[in-house]
Amino acid sequence: MIWSKSKALEVSLMLFLASTAVHAQSSISAEQAREHVGQKMTVCGNVASTHYASTSRGNPTFINLDKPYPNQVFTVLIWGSESTAIW
């Protein structure tokens, strides 16, 4: 089966979040995240949209939870240099 980059990223993020949930103290919804700035939490939500900015400095990947950009509830930012830790 061939997956699009977006689908592969979505599956990888779900696996990553599921594996870290075991080690996290608490999990919260994407909506609740704004109430926990500065705290170490696991944020759970549905991947609504993704964008890999391959021509931007640092090659960032944006993962928007619960609602797609520009109305996203929470955005995960993964810099290109850090993406190998997930893949």
Residue 48 DSSP symbol:
E
Look up tokens 């640092």; give the residue.
58
Round the average pLDDT of the chain to a whole number and report it. Answer: 82
pLDDT (tens digit per residue) in 46-58 = 999 999 999 999 9
The reported pTM is 0.67
Structure-block tokens of residue 54: 């391959």
pLDDT (tens digit per residue) in 2-37 = 545 666 566 566 656 655 545 545 899 999 999 999
H-helix or E-strand spanning residue 3: none
The 10 Å CB-count burial string (b at 16+, else e) for 24-62 is eeeebebebbeeeeeeebebbbebbbbbbeeeeeeebbe
| Spatial contact of 36 and 54, defined as CB atoms under 8 Å apart | no
